[in-house]
Structure 1
Amino acid sequence: MTDHPIKEDPVKRFRKLLGSLSPLTRLPQRTLGDIINLPKQTSGEPHPPVQSLKKDAPPPKEKKSKPKPVSIEQPASTADLKPDSASRSGASVWAPRFWTMASIISLTINILMAVILIVLVVSVYRLGLDVNYIMDVGKSLVGLPGGLYENFEKMERANIQTSVKVETSIPVKFDLALNQQTNVVLSQDVTITNARVTINSEVLDITRANTTITLPQGTVLPVLLNLTVPVDTQVPVVLDVPVNIPLSQTELNEPFVGLQEVIEPLYCFLVPDAVNMDGERICP
């Protein structure tokens, strides 16, 4: 609301100007005081004639009034002419529109729900579905969150137990030092030339004589081994390794716990007194 005065309607101003120019406004008019000071006429006295009243009355003074020019001012805006009516009618204009739109939306939703229900009923009868079967399916859907939560909990506590077969080859490279007494068996006859032989017997006495000796196959000779043997080879390895891995200690634990937290609100809504595998309450 502004402090500027509300402009007068141009139509009303025009009518006032026309009324001021009318000849009837030039006639003498009685004021309220003249009407009060009139002598009261008794019921027995006759009314004075109209002509006598006109003679006794003083002649009216004619007032010369110049006609004023008529000027019609156009309003600046409709809001300046009728701000109160616009503010009062704002709510009344939008209220019917709001209720009309709300009614249309509600009616549309009701029609859609009715169509969906009719389609479902027709589908049930057309496909020949059993009502009891549908009820069993509904019960299964209700028990679905509980089954999912229980299986996710079992997966969280499960262990991976298996045997891993290992087939590979291990490289071996090192120097083997030997320094020990051992016996050697000849695999064939061995001939030793320029050997010095000493024989002391009753028949023959020989001291450090050069000769050739042949050692037969299978002769066992004691020897002392003192050497370094280099080893560079590949050792094949074939074995079964047992494995036992708890999933709670792996990276799979986090997604299993997250799946339980996702199912928990729906499971608690359907079964408020649900418990886990340890018998503890799940719902707060």
Structure 2
Amino acid sequence: MTQEQNPRPAKRYARLAPLYKALIWTSFLINTVLIVVVAVLGWTLYTARNQILDLTGTTRAFAGTNIAELQDVVAKLQGSTIKYTVQLRGARLPIELEVPVQQETNVVLREPVPLSVPAAILFPGGGGNLNANVNLELPAGLQLPIRLDFLLPLKQSIPVDLDVPVNIPLRETELGPQFQRLGAVVERLVAPAEPLLTRPDEVPDSSTPLLAPSATAAPLIIEPLPTAGPAQPAP
């Protein structure tokens, strides 16, 4: 008894055109390169995360420090005062005014002063009266009380040689409103970024040097490198 074996049909594969093969290999290579690049980039970011965090913190602290100093400068400008001493040397100050003089004083006669005044002499008992002139002479050295009441005009220039202190608050000058506007503009710019800033405990002052030069610093000594000797021949 024989068994008939049915032959299996042979598998046939479609043959791809060379262009399609090139496209497939190109796509495979591109995907491989992209996967490698993404993996390297991800690993780099993962290993550099501490540096990125430090850089972010440093940036926030840098911005917060400078903004705090800017706000402090604006506040001090609003409350500052101009203090100066004006020196007047060799100048002349013109004066033109009337000075009221009201004073009681005594004057002394330097020489005799003759007086001739009319006088009415009445005789008692209805004897009538007599109109006559009385001649008197005030002796020299006599003190007479008088009252002065007049306006003394002054019109001249006087020499001036003095130091005049000047103390002017800026808020009372024309710069006061401008400093207030500057402060308001700074506050409007800082308010949105306030949660992201790191404020310093103490407001810095850029007018003072951060590092003072040390008078006892050791001098820098540069020594020459040792030079190699001539090469010895091998035995």
Superposition TM-score, scaled by structure 2 size: 0.36
Task: Tell me which protein shows more strand as a share of its residues.
Answer: 2
Over alpha carbons, which structure has the higher Rg?
1
Superposition TM-score, scaled by structure 1 size: 0.31
Task: Tell me which protein shows more helix as a share of its residues.
Answer: 1
